[in-house]
Structure 1
Amino acid sequence: MAQSDRSTVDWTPANGSLVPHKDAPGTDVFYNQGGFFIVRSDLGCYLWTEDLKSGTGIKIQRLHPACQGGDHYLSDNKNPPNIYVIKGDSYRVVKDLSTDAEAEVRELASSCRGGDHYTYCGSWFYIISQNKGSLDYVCDLSTPISGGRTPLEPECSKGLFYFTIDNLPTLIKLDEKWGAQCYLYKEFFSNHPRFSSIHPNVLNFFPGGLALVKGASTGGWECIKTLHNDSDSSITWSDKVTCKVGYAKQQMSSMEHNWSISAEMSLGAGELTKLITQFQFSLKTEYGGRSIRTDQEDWTEAREEEESIQVTLEPKKNLYIWQYRLGIGHKPVLFCRDVEFTKENNPPDRIPLPPVP
């Protein structure tokens, strides 16, 4: 009875894209005189940078609990600027998302509710309705007085996120050739934008960003041992199989090397990238995910483990032992606990992790 070397099943990677605002609750982008802010309410924090293109001076700050769970986040251009957190039919005005400084809560005017995106430009609040292809503008979110409505240029209706840079309406779109791009328009109803890329250190923080920077999620069964019975009688094989179990932390933690994480964050070293990686696996395949939950897997540092196995092998038969693992791109990241056996050199046809509801 001979044992073969390890062999690996070819994996089929998913496609990749940033997750649009509508499918990423609590995620938003805004800009004010303090810099750029990417909010991830689901992670309880936000990323700040001086510049999206260069990724200069990235800091990760905690979100104050009162500022979490917003439907939309935006800021005006006052000195100092106000930050607006829209949640349902009301909104919170604060000076700082980390401290909830000078907080006020106001009712959202009925005519200002239900927008797909919100931003502030000049002296107007813009309420963007992508499906309608229109833009409403008001001077105050709490009053029913409308400034007007104008149709959006078709290309301006295709943004994933909308915000304003120095009074220039801006949207993030995914270009098939060039990846995630920022498009700056003189007006939302014109089609003469300037555009620029987004630095990978910033993209990694966006939902789905890992797929654009490191590659889409992959998953499959690896054959960790093959048993052969070349004799004319049955053989009982009893031994230990060694396999790697856990999270290949070093593959992902390099992201945090370029981030300055606030001491107020309760997450330890590597914890934030672990959460981002878990989230990536849970996304739909169109966003580079696998639509599976991995939170019940072993996310401690990957290590070698031995498992005792006893099997009876029939004459002239083979037995293949498989382990399921997940990766970002083609680099393995999570070695799952599931081990299965097949009599043919074909991997199991099931995914051993629960689907996202």
Structure 2
Amino acid sequence: MSSIIPRSKAKGTDICAINKYYYIIRSDLGCYMQTSDLNKGADISVFSLHPACQNGDHYIGGDSYFNIINGNSCRRVTNLTTDSDAVVYSLHPKCQGGDHYFAAHGYFYIIFQGKGTYRRTTNMTKDSDAEELKLHPNHRDGLYYWGPPSSKQTGFSFLKPASEWGVEFYHGPDLGTDERTAVYSVHPDVLNFLPGGLSVTKGPAIGMWENIKTITNDSTTPVTWQKKITKKVGYNKEKMAQITHNWKIETSASIESAELAKLIAKLQFAFSAEYGGSRVSTENESWKEATEEEEQLTFGLKPNERLYLWQHKLCLGQEPVLFCCDLKITNEPNPPTSPAQP
């Protein structure tokens, strides 16, 4: 089953909340998403991510500040696009090495999944008012954790691994108990922005060979076949536009909607099969809108020989997304088994 890539395997990616909004940070895209509701996909906007705010290990919201942890230090800013009011401070040794971080109700929470504990403190530099508590077993397998969008609220949320119900997040009042826990689905427009999300909304990445021409020599003598063949090369604009069609790309963002959709798709194809990818690099492919192109081919056919001409294409689910330049010629009617070489 395809799934979302966990934060631990996607450096610079995280979910946090602050001032009535939820934020999904994607350093690999150079931008972040803002939404007022992860379940309804409401008020979605995409902003550029300042270089100084990229590639953090963890991102924490709360109290009008974003806190970006990298190694044993933390950068605090008021705006991820402008890096405004930046201050860098060191983390107390007992506040280092957490698997997940979030803030709620005046506390920073640090989750140690391996130990099955969590630490909370009012100050990560001094480890003030600190206590370490047992993490409920049902809260140990989260992919991402975040606090409420207001520092006056209590509780926490975490994204669960995909199940037969799709991708869901849990919300509860206390990490130590499993009482009064609510479950919500993640809206498809939000899923599209998460790493691995396209495999959930569109289907896993699949590479396949399509037979675009069959050439036969029915004579008893060798012949030379020389003709122009037509092939479609480029990306499926209609399908790509569906990825970002409900997103508002802010003018401050350094990327346009179409380019952002292409980048998300490129990364999805490069992911491992575990996360709905196919481990294929498409950097050398044509990412322009698909058009018909002609190519001159010349080759010899033996008497009564039949050859098959195949073109490689990449799909999300059953829908073709990218028509590749790569062609192969075989003497078998079955598609090639070897992948295309970019």
- The counterpart of 1:141, out of the listed 107, 120, 124, is 124
Q: Is 1:176 aligned with 2:163?
A: yes
- The counterpart of 1:191, out of the listed 170, 178, 183, is 178
Q: Is 1:29 aligned with 2:12?
A: no
Equivalent pair of 1:60/1:259 in contact (CA under 8 Å)? yes
Query: What is the rounded CA distance, in whole Å, between the counterparts of 1:302 and 1:196 in structure 2?
Result: 38
Q: CA deviation digits over 1:41-61, x for unaligned, max 9?
A: 111111001111111110001
Extract unaligned runs of 5+ from structure 1.
1-14
Q: Is 1:331 aligned with 2:319?
A: yes
Q: By how many angstroms is 1:347 displaced? A: 2.1
Query: What is the rounded CA distance, in whole Å, between the counterparts of 1:17 and 1:103 in structure 2?
Result: 35
Q: Is 1:294 aligned with 2:309?
A: no
Show the counterpart of 2:307.
319
Q: Is 1:52 aligned with 2:52?
A: no
Q: Is 1:70 aligned with 2:53?
A: no
Show the counterpart of 1:114.
97
Q: Secondary structure at the match of 2:245?
A: helix
What TM-score, normalized to structure 2?
0.95
Q: Is 1:212 aligned with 2:195?
A: no
* Count of residues in correspondence between the two structures: 337
Q: CA deviation digits over 1:213-233, x for unaligned, max 9?
A: 111111111111011122222
- The counterpart of 1:305, out of the listed 285, 290, 293, is 293
Q: Any runs of at least 4 consecutive aligned residues in structure 1 with deviations exceeding 3 A, and if so which? A: none
Q: Secondary structure at the match of 1:66?
A: helix
Q: Is 1:124 aligned with 2:107?
A: yes
Equivalent pair of 2:59/2:69 in contact (CA under 8 Å)? yes
Q: Percent identity?
A: 41
Query: What is the rounded CA distance, in whole Å, between the counterparts of 2:166 and 2:154 in structure 1?
Result: 25
Q: By how many angstroms is 1:144 displaced? A: 4.2
- The counterpart of 2:190, out of the listed 195, 198, 202, is 202
Amino acid at match of 1:47: M
Show the counterpart of 1:277.
265
Amino acid at match of 2:231: C
Equivalent pair of 2:13/2:55 in contact (CA under 8 Å)? no
What TM-score, normalized to structure 1?
0.91
- The counterpart of 1:162, out of the listed 126, 141, 145, is 145
- The counterpart of 1:101, out of the listed 84, 87, 95, is 84
Query: What is the rounded CA distance, in whole Å, between the counterparts of 2:252 and 2:66 in structure 1?
Result: 20
Q: Secondary structure at the match of 2:161?
A: strand
Extract unaligned runs of 5+ from structure 2.
none
Show the counterpart of 2:235.
247
Query: What is the rounded CA distance, in whole Å, between the counterparts of 2:299 and 2:283 in structure 1?
Result: 31
Show the counterpart of 2:221.
233
Q: Secondary structure at the match of 2:67?
A: strand
Equivalent pair of 2:269/2:279 in contact (CA under 8 Å)? yes
Q: Compared with structure 1, are the counterparts of its residues 334 and 94 closer, same or farther at alpha carbon in structure 2 (3 Å cutoff)?
A: same
